[in-house]
Amino acid sequence: MKIKLTSVLVDNQDKALAFYTDVLGFVKKTEIPMGEFKWLTVVSPEGPDDIELLLEPNENPAAITFQKALFEQGIPATAFAVDNVSDEYSRLTGLGVRFTMEPTEMGPTTIAAFDDTCGNLIQIYQG
């Protein structure tokens, strides 16, 4: 068994695609129209291209409530590994990304969290 696909809820797929590719540096892998929405995935240029992140439209009322509650409580929707949190923090703040947690040492790792502009907090970590 292995992880092939995981998802993050987004309030706007086109805005999410722009943020996740133009700002974070992921690469669009799949875009399949499905009526009003699309099956839209991105992959890391640094990792295996068989692990995809689905930018999933947030249209379910229960999902909207869940996403909003996580955001308001400061809980990240997901986490991405980086080689150096401080360097990535500097790069992303230079691109206008709003961090809700600056790089912080937590035992053997360093973490930071930012707003993905699509309804989520995302954590980056090294360690």
Residue 55 φ then ψ, to 5°: -90, 90
* Cβ density class 87-119: b for 16+ within 10 Å, e for less: ebbeebeeeebeeeeebeeeeeebbbbbebbbb
71: domain CATH number is 3.10.180.10
Q: Give the domain range for residue 18.
A: 5-126
pTM: 0.94
pLDDT tens-digit map of 93-126: 999 999 999 999 999 999 999 999 999 999 999 9
Per the DSSP assignment, residues forming a β-bridge with 40 are 31
Bridge pairing between strands 99-106 and 27-34: unpaired
Domain count, the chain: 1
pLDDT tens-digit map of 67-88: 999 999 999 999 999 999 999 9
